[in-house]
Amino acid sequence: MAAELRSTVEGRTMVLTISNPEHRNALGPEMYAAGVEALNIAETNPDVRCVVLTGEGETFCAGGNLQRLQANRQKPPEVQAQSIEQLHSWVEAIRTFPKPVIAAVEGPAAGAGFSLALACDLIVAARNAVFVMAYSSVALSPDGGGSWSLAQALPRQLVNELLMSGERIGAQRLHELGVVNRLCDAGQALGTALEWSEKLAARAPNVMTSIKELVSEAGAHDLSTHLAAERDHFVKNLHHPNGGIGIAAFLNKQVPRYE
């Protein structure tokens, strides 16, 4: 069965499913381009308010395909560099996508699979899910933005431990550390993520975009710059039609229906 990234729509959510069951949902270049294309389609479709990224079956993603990586050692270095650039284009597309992206994780999320989950805005994980930056176990270093995402979220010593030792860390521990947002029973990650995404889809989409941009840019801004950005987003959203809808609904004790 060929490796692919499947795209379906559930309500107001696009579900992207990493499907490569023969290799525990290992990634490949064909998925990277499909991921970018799917997000481009979702961005221009007003009926899609959220995206959920998940894996087929009981595995989220095993990371890179080691047989393909071994074969690439016999090719010019540019071949692997191009593959990683394609992965990074997908990661950047997730990070800059103007709508919420939720990772729904069952079972292992390894290497670039872990990095992909970290690139998402929110993570729902089954209690028995395990995460591992397995690169050092095969004499490789991270890709997919994993080292960047972990360094933003965790103390340096813990990030070094995860990357250098290549040891597994459970969903419960990552939940305690604030990396995983919500835990659920095994087999319920996608359903839990979809339930959450529908609640987010009911909120003003322009505000979801503003929040995502503000949070993403916060680390690069000094306070003065960030305060100016918050001001500009607030004023823009106040004068957006949804601002009027939201305030009027609250004052009249009604449920808002945003554009």
Q: How many CB atoms lie within 10 A of CB 3?
A: 19
Nearest to 33 by CA among 81, 82, 86: 86
Q: What one-letter code names the amino acid at 233? A: H
Angle at 244 between CA 238 and CA 12, to 5 degrees: 95
pLDDT in tens, the chain (259 residues): 678 999 999 999 999 999 999 999 999 999 999 999 999 999 999 999 999 999 999 999 999 989 999 999 999 999 999 999 999 999 999 999 999 999 999 999 999 999 999 999 999 999 999 999 999 999 999 999 999 999 999 999 999 999 999 999 999 999 999 999 999 999 999 999 999 999 999 999 999 999 999 999 998 999 999 999 999 999 999 999 999 999 999 999 999 999 9
CA distance 125 to 135: 22
For residue 212, give both structure tokens.
């995502």
Helix, strand, or coil (residue 32): helix
> How many whole angstroms separate alpha carbon 56 and alpha carbon 66?
19
User: Residues in the chain, how many?
Assistant: 259
Q: Is the dihedral of CA 34, 36, 37, 43 positive or negative?
A: positive
- Alpha-helix runs per DSSP H in the chain: 29-44, 66-72, 77-96, 112-119, 146-153, 156-165, 171-176, 189-201, 205-218, 223-238, 241-251
| 121, two tokens | 């805005």
Cα–Cα distance, 6 to 98 (Å, whole number): 21
Entry pTM = 0.96
Separation between Cα atoms, residue 188 and residue 105, nearest integer Å: 9
The three-class DSSP label of residue 6 is strand
* DSSP assignment letter at 22: G
